[in-house]
């Protein structure tokens, strides 16, 4: 046997055994990681993977117990609905068993709510309890831009998915779906049902078989947000560009989106529009400034549209808000979606062509799947709350895929000002929770009248209908369009000096609640007209001075032919107009 052969044989033997004190000892098997804890990010944490940014990353760090840091590694997975997605594979450990990943890819757990865990690399533990970590929600944002032509690079739409722990929504622009989807999650973060499907948008008559108008009209003319303008003629002159920004609270997942949609019309008013009639878009003088706020752990989406005059002129707007409901998950039949509209006392299903007349007040539309038990995770329940009157809900499309109706509203944009429309979309498994959140939205949508008081005087302000009794209750909410009469009443010794703010003049003030308003009632002290008390008894003089709203000053006495106890003279003299409670000095006869 050659020396080289002996050396190889010996090396192989040493690889499997150790010689200690003349004994051959086989080393123990390599220890496995027994547990782990992810400490960064915090529990819970929420992110948006902004696909228009340079990178989409987040930091992960944690510790492990057991194992051999020099040879063990971990996979970082995100677990939901009984499965997982891999965020990072084969992450090495530091000598103390900790690990750190400064730039994990957000796109791996995209559009998910799940729990991060670090497990031994290459394994799928049946018991995940020893491997703890935070819940994370990862949404996404994308912008859609015109490609090529004179409008190259102009934004016309966006997509934003906002994940929270119990539910989620995703959104596109006003001219697209608006609120595109609503999602409900069970305790394992499994997506069980899609609730709303395309809501609070003005996308055009998608469900109508014979459209005669656009979903938004300005001054009677068919108008188009940027998304619709893109499909009419992306290369037209005067093409409107959309702007959109967002913020996210990483600790709660609450998201705020700001969107601006200039509304344009075609030179040819014919409908439907075409590239010839829309070779150039014309500004309508109105821009919709939309704010979306998502909160309540994903259960509520608040949408506020402020239609604003951009040309200093007043404009009439006519709106057909698109609302589509699905309320099923892996399978279902949206033709069985049923509604309880304001003024109704029971739920009912509808077919295309049905029109529901609505009360002349704001309200809430409750939604559920016919026959589904309360709390059913496969369907869920919802509500659409609106803040100002709608004339009708017209069903345009009802099939197994979804149930669609338009909500008709009108308004006037004041010259140089704006008018707003607000919606809240509520989703949950339990009807009691839907009802509670819908009531919260209805209360939040009340138009607030706030009264303040000023001046040196005292007084009260009351309202009809009741609600304001100021000094105690100086703010109250009323439904949109309510006529409220405010009356100011001065206290004794005071006078009402007039209104400022939402009210003017010195008479009762009538306010119609089309927005939050504030008014101030000024009260002043009445002056004292100094009375003539000369010749009166001291007692009578004091009463006259008090009644005149002055006060008795220094009393002096002097011998006089005037009857004893009567006033000889006074200062200041009678007839003078002085401040309330001015002291009147008296000289009284001793006889």
- pLDDT for 123 equals 96
- CA–CA dist 176, 582 (Å, integer): 71
**DSSP 3-state of 367:** strand
Calculate mean pLDDT across residues 227-255: 98
pLDDT single digits (tens) 273-324: 999 999 999 999 999 999 999 999 999 999 999 999 999 999 999 999 999 9
| 339 token code pair | 């509604």
- CA–CA dist 159, 89 (Å, integer): 29
Give the model's confidence band at 32: pLDDT under 50 very low, under 70 low, under 90 confident, else very high: confident
Residue pair 82/114 in contact by the 8 Å Cβ criterion: no
Give the model's confidence band at 68: pLDDT under 50 very low, under 70 low, under 90 confident, else very high: very high
pLDDT at 23 over 70: no
**Total structural domains within the chain:** 4
106 CB contacts (<8 Å, ≥6 apart)? 47, 49, 56, 57, 58, 138
- pLDDT for 211 equals 81
Q: What percent of the chain has pLDDT over 90?
A: 92
Calculate mean pLDDT across residues 370-374: 98
Considering the chain, what is the average pLDDT of its residues?
93
- pLDDT for 462 equals 97
pLDDT at 16 over 60: no
Residue matched to tokens 């040493």: 14
Do 301 and 380 have their domain in common?
A: yes
pLDDT single digits (tens) 392-405: 999 999 999 999 99
Residue matched to tokens 């006889």: 591
391 to 316, 385, 408, 571: CA distances (angstroms): 16, 14, 6, 70
- Does 98 map to a domain? yes
Do 395 and 465 have their domain in common?
A: no
Residue 197 has a CB neighbour count (10 Å cut-off) of 20
Calculate mean pLDDT across residues 538-547: 96
- Does 25 map to a domain? no
Do 297 and 381 have their domain in common?
A: yes
Residue matched to tokens 């590239």: 275
Boundary of a domain, candidates 444, 461, 489: 444
CATH code for the domain of 96: 2.60.40
Residue pair 226/157 in contact by the 8 Å Cβ criterion: yes
pLDDT at 5 over 50: no
pLDDT single digits (tens) 160-208: 999 999 999 999 999 999 999 999 999 999 999 999 999 999 998 655 5
- CA–CA dist 392, 9 (Å, integer): 91
- pLDDT for 31 equals 75
Do 389 and 451 have their domain in common?
A: no
Do 183 and 121 have their domain in common?
A: no
What predicted TM-score, i.e. pTM, was given to this entire model? 0.87
pLDDT single digits (tens) 402-438: 999 999 999 999 999 999 999 999 999 999 999 999 9
Do 164 and 281 have their domain in common?
A: yes
Do 177 and 61 have their domain in common?
A: no
- Does 21 map to a domain? no
Q: Can you give the residue range of the structural domain that contains 542?
A: 529-589
CA-based R_g, the chain, Å: 37
- CA–CA dist 437, 294 (Å, integer): 13
pLDDT at 10 over 60: no
Residue pair 380/195 in contact by the 8 Å Cβ criterion: yes
Residue matched to tokens 């009360």: 359
**DSSP 3-state of 507:** coil
**DSSP 3-state of 475:** strand
Do 504 and 542 have their domain in common?
A: no
- CA–CA dist 570, 88 (Å, integer): 96
pLDDT at 328 over 70: yes
Positive or negative torsion for Cα 564, 568, 570, 576: positive
Boundary of a domain, candidates 378, 409, 444: 444
Q: Where are the alpha helices (DSSP H) in 3-106?
A: 3-16
107: nearest Cα among 79, 87, 84, 89: 87
User: End-to-end distance of the chain based on CA atoms, in angstroms?
Assistant: 154
Q: What angle do CA 83, 85, 89 make, to 5 degrees?
A: 130
Do 367 and 251 have their domain in common?
A: yes
Do 220 and 286 have their domain in common?
A: yes
- Burial state string for 474-503 with b = 16 or more CB within 10 A and e = fewer than 16: bebbbbbebebebebebeeebbbbbbeebb
- CA–CA dist 365, 383 (Å, integer): 5
- Does 552 map to a domain? yes
Positive or negative torsion for Cα 579, 581, 583, 588: positive
- Does 456 map to a domain? yes
Calculate mean pLDDT across residues 342-365: 96
Do 392 and 493 have their domain in common?
A: no
Calculate mean pLDDT across residues 359-380: 97
- CA–CA dist 70, 168 (Å, integer): 41
Q: Which helix (H) or strand (E) holds 545?
A: helix 538-547
Boundary of a domain, candidates 378, 412, 444: 444
Give the model's confidence band at 21: pLDDT under 50 very low, under 70 low, under 90 confident, else very high: very low
- Does 584 map to a domain? yes
- CA–CA dist 362, 511 (Å, integer): 18
Give the model's confidence band at 210: pLDDT under 50 very low, under 70 low, under 90 confident, else very high: low
Residue pair 421/447 in contact by the 8 Å Cβ criterion: no
CATH code for the domain of 412: 2.70.98.90
Report strand pairing: 131-132 vs 33-40: parallel
Do 255 and 179 have their domain in common?
A: yes
- pLDDT for 15 equals 39
CATH code for the domain of 540: 3.30.10.20
345 CB contacts (<8 Å, ≥6 apart)? none
- pLDDT for 385 equals 98
- Does 249 map to a domain? yes
Residue pair 32/69 in contact by the 8 Å Cβ criterion: no
- Does 496 map to a domain? yes
pLDDT single digits (tens) 467-506: 999 999 999 999 999 999 999 999 999 999 999 999 999 9
């Amino acid at each position: 046997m050659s020396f080289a052969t002996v050396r190889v044989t010996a090396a192989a033997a040493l690889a499997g055994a150790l010689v200690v004190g003349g004994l051959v000892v086989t080393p123990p098997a390599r220890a496995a990681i027994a547990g782990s804890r992810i400490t960064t990010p915090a529990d819970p944490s929420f992110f948006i993977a902004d696909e228009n940014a340079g990178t989409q990353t987040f930091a992960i760090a944690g510790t492990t117990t057991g194992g051999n840091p020099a040879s063990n590694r971990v996979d970082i997975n995100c677990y939901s609905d009984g499965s997982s997605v891999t965020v990072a594979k084969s992450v090495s450990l530091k000598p103390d068993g900790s690990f750190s990943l400064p730039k994990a890819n957000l796109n791996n757990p995209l559009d998910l709510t799940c729990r991060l865990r670090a497990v031994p690399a290459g394994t799928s533990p049946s018991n995940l309890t020893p491997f703890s970590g935070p819940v994370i929600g990862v949404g996404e944002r994308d912008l859609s831009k015109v490609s090529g032509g004179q409008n190259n690079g102009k934004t016309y739409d966006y997509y934003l998915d906002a994940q929270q722990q119990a539910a989620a929504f995703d959104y596109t622009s006003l001219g697209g779906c608006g609120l595109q989807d609503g999602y409900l999650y069970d305790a394992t973060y499994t997506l069980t049902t899609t609730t709303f499907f395309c809501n609070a948008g003005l996308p055009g008559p998608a469900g109508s078989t014979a459209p005669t108008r656009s979903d938004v009209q300005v001054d009677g003319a068919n108008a188009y947000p940027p998304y619709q303008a893109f499909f009419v003629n992306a290369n037209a002159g005067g093409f409107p560009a959309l702007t959109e920004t967002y913020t996210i609270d990483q600790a709660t997942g609450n998201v705020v989106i700001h969107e601006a949609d200039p509304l344009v019309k075609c030179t040819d008013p014919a409908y439907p529009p075409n590239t010839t009639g829309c070779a150039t878009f014309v500004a309508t003088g109105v821009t919709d400034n939309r704010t979306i706020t998502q909160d309540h752990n994903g259960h509520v989406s608040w949408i506020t549209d402020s239609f604003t005059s951009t040309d200093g002129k007043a404009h009439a707007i006519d709106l057909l808000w698109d609302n589509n409901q699905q309320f099923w998950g892996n399978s279902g039949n949206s033709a069985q979606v049923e509604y309880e509209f304001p003024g109704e006392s029971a739920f009912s299903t509808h077919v295309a062509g049905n029109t529901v007349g609505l009360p002349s007040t704001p309200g809430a539309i409750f939604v559920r799947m016919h026959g589904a038990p309360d709390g059913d995770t496969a369907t869920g329940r919802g509500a659409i709350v609106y803040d100002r009157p709608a004339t009708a809900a017209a069903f345009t499309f009802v099939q197994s895929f979804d149930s669609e109706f338009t909500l008709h509203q009108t308004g006037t944009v004041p010259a140089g000002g704006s008018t707003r429309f607000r919606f809240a979309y509520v989703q949950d498994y339990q009807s009691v929770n839907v009802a509670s959140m819908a009531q919260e939205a209805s209360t939040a949508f009340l138009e607030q009248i706030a009264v303040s008081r000023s001046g040196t005087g005292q007084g009260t302000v009351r309202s009809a209908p009741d609600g304001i009794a100021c000094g105690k209750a100086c703010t109250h909410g009323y439904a949109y369009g309510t006529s409220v009469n405010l009356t100011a009443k001065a206290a004794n010794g005071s006078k009402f000096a007039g209104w400022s703010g939402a009210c003017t003049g010195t008479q009762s003030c009538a306010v119609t609640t089309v927005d939050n308003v504030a008014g101030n009632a000024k009260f002043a002290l009445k002056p004292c007209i100094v009375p003539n008390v000369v010749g009166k008894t001291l007692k009578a003089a004091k009463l006259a001075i008090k009644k005149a709203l002055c006060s008795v000053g220094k009393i002096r006495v002097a011998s006089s032919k005037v009857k004893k106890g009567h006033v000889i003279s006074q200062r200041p003299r009678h007839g003078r107009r002085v401040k309330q409670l001015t002291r009147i000095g008296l000289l009284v006869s001793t006889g």
